[in-house]
Amino acid sequence: MTETDGKKQLLHLVFGGELSSLSEVQFRDLNSLDIVGIFPDYASALAAWKSKAQQTVDNAHMRYFIVHMHRLLNPADTQ
């Protein structure tokens, strides 16, 4: 089913890890990536991203990202 509470699911993945350098997105250790979770919409993914980013604010090399999985699963989906 593509609907949750009457809304279309637009899956988003939130993950992060420590970067090797600040100039590029190259993770120091792929085995220690923090997979925060998969969320049904951008708003809930953004809330999770903000929470994790705030927890690691003292580490300049730590970065969290939101991946629009729905765009990978259905490239025609532009939302």
Would 62 be classed as within a structural domain? yes
Number of structural domains in the chain: 1
Per-residue pLDDT band at 9 (split at 50, 70, 90): confident
Q: Please state, in angstroms and as integers, the Cα–Cα distance from residue 49 to each residue in 6, 9, 46, following that order.
A: 24, 18, 5
Place 4 in a pLDDT band, splitting at 50, 70 and 90. Answer: low
What are the pLDDT digits (tens) for 16-59?
Answer: 999 999 999 999 999 999 999 999 999 999 999 999 999 999 99
Provide the token pair at 54.
Answer: 């705030």
Q: Which domain range does residue 47 map to?
A: 36-74
Is residue 10 a part of any domain in this protein?
Answer: no
Where residue 66 falls (left for φ over 0; alpha for ψ -120 to 50; beta otherwise) is beta
More confident residue, 46 or 2: 46
